[in-house]
Structure 1
Amino acid sequence: MSIVVLSGNPRRGSRTAAVAQQVANAVAAVVDLPVTTVELADVAPVLFTPADPELTALREAVARATVVVVATPSYKGSYTGLLKAFIDGYGPDSLAGVTAIPVVIAGTPRHTTLVAEIHLRPLLDEIGASTSLGCLAFTEAEVTDAAALAETIAAWAEARTPLIRALSATRVTTTSEVSA
Structure 2
Amino acid sequence: MSTRVAVVVGNPKPRSRTYEAALALADRLGGADLVVDLADHAGELFDWGSETVGGLVEDVASSLVVIVASPTYKGTYTGLLKAFLDRFPHQGLGGVTAIPLMLGASPAHTLAVDHGLRPLLVELGASVPTKGLYVVDAQHSDPEPYDAWFATAQHALPALPAPSTPSSPTSQAVPA
AA at the equivalent of 1:128: G
Q: CA RMSD in A?
A: 1.6
d(CA) in 2 for partners of 1:13, 1:7: 9
Instruction: Report the CA distance shift for 1:153/1:36 in structure 2 as closer, same or farther (over 3 A).
Output: same
d(CA) in 1 for partners of 2:58, 2:110: 29
Return the TM-score normalized by structure 2: 0.84
Q: Does 1:120 align with 2:122?
A: no
Give 3-state SS (helix, strand or coil) of 2:91's partner.
Answer: coil
The equivalent residue for 1:71 is 69
Greater C-alpha radius of gyration: 1
Q: Does 1:157 align with 2:159?
A: no
Instruction: Decide which of 32, 35, 38 is 2:36's aligned counterpart.
Output: 38
Alpha carbons 1:27, 1:164 under 8 Å: kept: no
Structure 1 unmatched ranges of 5 or more:
170-180
d(CA) in 2 for partners of 1:62, 1:76: 26
Q: For 1:65-144, what aligned pairs fall within 5 Å after superposition?
A: 65-113=63-111, 115-143=112-140
d(CA) in 2 for partners of 1:18, 1:92: 30
The alpha-carbon deviation at position 34 of structure 1 amounts to 4.9
Structure 2 unmatched ranges of 5 or more:
162-176
Alpha carbons 2:23, 2:32 under 8 Å: kept: no
Q: Which has the higher contact order (CA 8 A, sep 6+)?
A: 2
d(CA) in 1 for partners of 2:119, 2:35: 22
- Percent same amino acid at aligned positions? 39
d(CA) in 1 for partners of 2:135, 2:150: 15
d(CA) in 2 for partners of 1:48, 1:116: 25
Decide which structure has greater helix share.
1
Q: For 1:21-32, what aligned pairs fall within 5 Å after superposition?
A: 21-28=23-30
